[in-house]
Amino acid sequence: MISVADALEQALAAIRPAVRQGKPYVVGTPPEAPIKLNQNESPWDLPEPLKRELLEAFFALPFNRYPAEHPERLRRALAEYIDWPPEGIIVGNGSNELAFTVGLAVIDDGTPVVMPRPMFSLYEMIVRLHGGRIHAVAPGPDLQFDVAGLLQAIAQHRPALVILTSPNNPTGLAMDPRDIEAVVAAAPGLVLIDEAYVEFADGVGARPLLDRYPRVLLLRTFSKAFGLAGLRLGYLVGHPAVVQELYKARIPFMVDRLAETVALTLLRHPELVQARIAEIKAGVQWLYRELAALPDVEPRPSQANFVIFRTPLEPDVLLARLAKKGILIRNMSGYPELRGYVRVNAGRAEENRAFVVALKKALAGDETP
């Protein structure tokens, strides 16, 4: 009779090597703190009157019935929101799910994929899980995108997929629209442009490219500007013919009725969303100015809802001192290009002020709560 240890080894051997050799994407559970500025979330929940309106809708939902296979009401609303045919939109359980869908549809064993670095680490995980070959292009001075390097990598490797993030997580930098178009024009395959933070940036992002380049895919989320990180909603936009092929790789019933209802409600209240975007952008600008005014603190400009910066302190030491004062920020040293950097997202005005006060004390050596 086979031993349990041998049986376990046989079971593990059935898992693909690309999976076993990888690492899980784990955010971890941060400690509780009064001021949470570490996950790029919106600092505002929905207003109470709007929540009560949604509560009525919640009671009317039939829990025993499947949601729509593909949430058509929300797809049509998004089509109007971005002025694009509904057949060219996929709504998913967060933009991460849709990124996996693109990977499943495009990346096979040995498929070349070009991307800049540093970049949201989930993309590297997706490429490796599907057996693709990553051709990452290091940043230029001040962490800017190396556009010439990207174009060279595209010419050399002829990738089936190029992935861009603009504004970029983790740096907060946005690509010049002319540079994005240069990459798109040079790419032989699909170009996935992650615009999770596009509402905080200058301009309209890469939306105009959809009209001229069928290879462009835009990926957006309701987690940031819309403040719905807890409901998991994202959407992908592309040429209808390309999107119909991607649908074949997508799991159905991924968007629940409540999430769709909340998203539809927010799309009917654009004034609320725009007001909060304006406050967050003002908060980012304020944080950058305050950080730049501190001795030996080096912030980077940002068109996202966060700022990365370096201080003379080791990140773990700084985070520990701030946590004692009830404030959470993020250590970015897991990215080789960002060793020594930390990240703070814009919160409410009073949270931003409390963070700067606590930072000054932490930098001065104050380790008290």
3-class SS of residue 248: coil
Tell me how many degrees the CA angle 92-95-99 measures, rounded to the nearest 5.
Answer: 100
Are the C-beta atoms of 352 and 288 separated by less than 8 Å? no
Calpha distance 190→81 (Å, rounded): 24
Classify strands 216-221 and 234-238 as parallel, antiparallel or unpaired. Answer: antiparallel
pLDDT of residue 249: 93
Helix (H) / strand (E) element for 22: namely none
Cα dist. 256→67, 70, 92, 231, 252 in Å?
6, 10, 10, 9, 11
The predicted model gives 22-47 an average pLDDT of: 84
Residues 6+ apart with CB under 8 A from 341: 308, 309, 310, 315, 332, 333, 335
pLDDT of residue 60: 87
pLDDT higher than threshold 70 for residue 269: yes
Kindly report, residue by residue over 300-318, the tens digit of the pLDDT: 999 999 999 999 999 999 9
CATH superfamily of 19-40+271-363: Aspartate Aminotransferase, domain 1 (3.90.1150.10)
Whether pTM exceeds 0.85:
yes
The predicted model gives 279-292 an average pLDDT of: 98
pLDDT of residue 108: 95
Kindly report, residue by residue over 88-125, the tens digit of the pLDDT: 999 999 999 999 999 999 999 999 999 999 999 999 99
Are the C-beta atoms of 197 and 305 separated by less than 8 Å? yes
Least confidently predicted of 17-31, 89-103, 311-325, 334-348: 17-31
Least confidently predicted of 23-27, 34-38, 325-329, 340-344: 23-27
Are the C-beta atoms of 88 and 240 separated by less than 8 Å? yes
Alpha-carbon Rg for the chain, nearest whole angstrom, is 22
Angle, helices 257-267/270-292, rounded to nearest 10 degrees: 80
Helix (H) / strand (E) element for 120: namely none
Q: Give 27's pLDDT tier (boundaries 50, 70, 90).
A: low
Residue 241 gets which letter from DSSP? Answer: H
- Quote the mean pLDDT of the chain: 94
pLDDT higher than threshold 70 for residue 29: no
pLDDT over 70 for what percent of the chain?
A: 98
Peptide bond into 118 cis (omega under 30): yes
Residue 157 gets which letter from DSSP? Answer: H
Kindly report, residue by residue over 171-199, the tens digit of the pLDDT: 999 999 999 999 999 999 999 999 999 99
pLDDT higher than threshold 70 for residue 66: yes
Kindly report, residue by residue over 117-173, the tens digit of the pLDDT: 999 999 999 999 999 999 999 999 899 999 999 999 999 999 999 999 999 999 999
- Write down the CATH number for the domain with range 60-268: 3.40.640.10
Are the C-beta atoms of 305 and 44 separated by less than 8 Å? no
pLDDT higher than threshold 80 for residue 219: yes
More confident of the two residues 52 and 186:
186
Classify strands 161-165 and 133-137 as parallel, antiparallel or unpaired. Answer: unpaired
Q: How many helices (H) and strands (E) does the chain have?
A: 13, 13
CATH 3.40.640.10 in the chain: give the residue spans.
Answer: 60-268
Calpha distance 245→90 (Å, rounded): 11
Are the C-beta atoms of 116 and 164 separated by less than 8 Å? yes
Tell how far CA 308 is from the center of its chain.
Answer: 15
The predicted model gives 325-336 an average pLDDT of: 96
**Tokens describing residue 105:** 């549809």
